[in-house]
Amino acid sequence: MIGGGYVGLVSGACLAAFGTDVTIIEHDPARLDRLKAGTMPIYEPGLEELVTKQRQAGRLAFSDDLTAALRKSKAVFIAVGTPTRRGSGHADLSYVHAAARAIATHAPDGLLIVTKSTVPVGTGRQVASIVREARPELTLHIASNPEFLREGHAIMDFMKPDRVVIGLEDWPDAPSTARTLLEDLYAPLNRPESRLLFMGLESAELTKYAANAFLAMKVTFANEMADLCEATGGQITDVTRGMGLDPRIGPHFLTPGPGYGGSCFPKDTQALATSARQAGTPTQLVETTIAANEARKRRLAERILALAGDDITSCTIAVLGLTFKAHTDDMRQAPSLTILPLLHEAGATLRVHDPQGMDTARTLLPDGIIYAETPLQAAEGADMLLVLTEWPSFAALTPAHLASHMRGRLILDCRQIWQKEDWQDAGFDYHCLGMGRTRPHPCP
Ligand code: UDX
């Protein structure tokens, strides 16, 4: 497994749990030392325990020696980063290409090379060309096996997937070697029935982008419906329940929020839109989704400032949640990174708390923000409280808790973590995205 990042670590540890001997190759010496010492470089529930258990069982090792690892391997997975290239929307494939070149140098005959990183359509063929041009004498097999892991649920997603998408070269006439090897690797998932979905390389690469772009679009649609509910007196929870019970729509990814973020949706929608433009078939829905999501974060900041009133410089806003969602320490593309600087610039005093993300947030957010160790410390003396992520520890707070710490009674819940009535009954001016009328519906 080349890459000891999020995808490589989770996939490597889970494949080891399936009974395969796995070596994770990590070239960053500091990260490798941490991994060898048993410290996870990321927060993911259950990962440290799983890694420790698999290492103790002798099935999982960390190393920087790709040559030695390949010598005893039947398959190698490429699980390196594919960040967005600055200003272009393109995925930066330099790490994938470097991994392909390194594999080519040391590959044994018959090796299966699997791309797990999220890559634009056509990358699998590029990997194939790189290794074959360097080693024309070898028989090498190429596959694409994108991951669908949600941060915070990654181990469960790997162990109990809806499907495992596998793209093979020359599908459906591909030689059986690659298919058999992948069926063996994922054997525990094939009971009672196979979860493996075989297809061509390009289809597998597109499936990953299409799935993430569709989910991003679904969330963005729910966000727009939430705005419409507020403007017209609807309740978004009723609307999405009514929509979601239709199996053609489904109930998931319809919870409104401050805008999607994270390492995947923003990057993958950009990359899909770019690939599609290059192919001469622009994806207008995806491009509009990207623009709508960006605009949403800025509009939310404007709404918060409007709620806070005229004298923002004397207003203290408590913010619960800084990461892009709950159950992660990941600050990448978090809505807080757009919203908080705008509030800070306007002169608000910000007191913030996040269970996992504060160390990184300190390096990304403007100076002068106050970081609190607990949600209640963040709420101390606040005029307004803003909920940006859905951690259970936030949902557990009651009106009585906050009433004894806040100076004001204004709440904007961007994740529907509380019941409106509880807060209104306790005298709070409670606002929740998509819930209730905020201005009268104009007569037709
Ligand atoms: C996502 C995909 O779910 C996963 O399959 C893929 O491989 C990686 O990208 P992740 O980035 O961990 O996973 O986050 P996810 O749980 O999908 O949420 C993405 C964003 O959408 C978050 O900002 C989240 O807060 C937001 N979201 C999600 C909503 O606002 N409402 C919802 O109903 C669901």
The CATH code of the domain that includes 111 is 3.40.50.720
For residues 291 and 342, state if they share a domain.
Answer: yes
* pLDDT score of 192: 77
* pLDDT score of 437: 59
* pLDDT score of 119: 93
Those residues with Cβ within 8 angstroms of residue 306's Cβ, 6 or more apart along the chain or in another chain: none
Tell me the average pLDDT across 342-346.
Answer: 97
Give the residue, by CA position, lying nearest to ligand 1 atom 33: 253
Q: What is the mean pLDDT of the chain?
A: 94
- Residue 342 inside a domain? The answer is yes
Chain segment 21-47, per-residue pLDDT in tens? 999 999 999 999 999 999 999 899 999
- The continuous run of DSSP H or E covering 156 comes out as helix 154-159
Q: What are phi and psi of 107, to 5 degrees?
A: -65, 135
For residues 95 and 179, state if they share a domain.
Answer: yes
For residues 257 and 404, state if they share a domain.
Answer: yes
414 annotated active-site: no
- Does ligand 1 have an atom closer than 6 angstroms to the CB of 387? no
* pLDDT score of 444: 38
For residues 175 and 274, state if they share a domain.
Answer: no
- Does ligand 1 have an atom closer than 6 angstroms to the CB of 257? yes
* pLDDT score of 143: 97
Give the residue, by CA position, lying nearest to ligand 1 atom 26: 260
* pLDDT score of 310: 85
For residues 362 and 416, state if they share a domain.
Answer: yes
Tell me the average pLDDT across 287-309.
Answer: 96
How many domains are there within the chain?
Answer: 2
Cα 161 to Cα 362: distance, rounded to the nearest angstrom: 35
For residues 36 and 162, state if they share a domain.
Answer: yes
Q: How confident is the model at residue 152 (pLDDT cuts 50, 70, 90)?
A: very high
* pLDDT score of 443: 42
For residues 264 and 401, state if they share a domain.
Answer: yes
Domain that holds residue 383: 217-432
For residues 169 and 298, state if they share a domain.
Answer: no
Q: What is the DSSP letter of 262?
A: S
- Does ligand 1 have an atom closer than 6 angstroms to the CB of 356? no
From 150, 290, 297, the mutation candidate for ligand 1 (largest count of ligand atoms within 8 A of CB) is 150
Return the number of other C-beta atoms located less than 10 Å from residue 70's C-beta. Answer: 21
* pLDDT score of 441: 41
- Residue 131 inside a domain? The answer is yes
- Residue 437 inside a domain? The answer is no
* pLDDT score of 285: 98
Contact 304, 343 (CB under 8 A): yes
Residue 82 has pLDDT above 50, yes or no: yes
Residue 89 has pLDDT above 80, yes or no: no
For residues 151 and 238, state if they share a domain.
Answer: no
* Bridge partners, 24 (sequence order): 62
Cα 308 to Cα 140: distance, rounded to the nearest angstrom: 62
- Does ligand 1 have an atom closer than 6 angstroms to the CB of 221? no
Cα 8 to Cα 109: distance, rounded to the nearest angstrom: 24
For residues 295 and 185, state if they share a domain.
Answer: no
- The continuous run of DSSP H or E covering 15 comes out as helix 6-17
- Residue 440 inside a domain? The answer is no
CA of 262 to the centre of ligand 1 (A): 7
- Does ligand 1 have an atom closer than 6 angstroms to the CB of 212? yes
* pLDDT score of 172: 83
Cα 183 to Cα 196: distance, rounded to the nearest angstrom: 8
CA of 393 to the centre of ligand 1 (A): 20
| Distance in angstroms between the alpha carbons of the first and the last residue of the chain | 61
For residues 260 and 183, state if they share a domain.
Answer: no
Single out the catalytic residue among 14, 229, 264, 432: 264
From 10, 217, 260, the mutation candidate for ligand 1 (largest count of ligand atoms within 8 A of CB) is 260
- Residue 202 inside a domain? The answer is no
CA of 411 to the centre of ligand 1 (A): 24
Chain segment 376-432, per-residue pLDDT in tens? 999 999 999 999 999 999 999 999 999 999 999 999 999 999 999 999 999 999 999
Chain segment 178-233, per-residue pLDDT in tens? 999 999 999 999 877 889 999 999 999 999 999 999 999 999 999 999 999 999 99
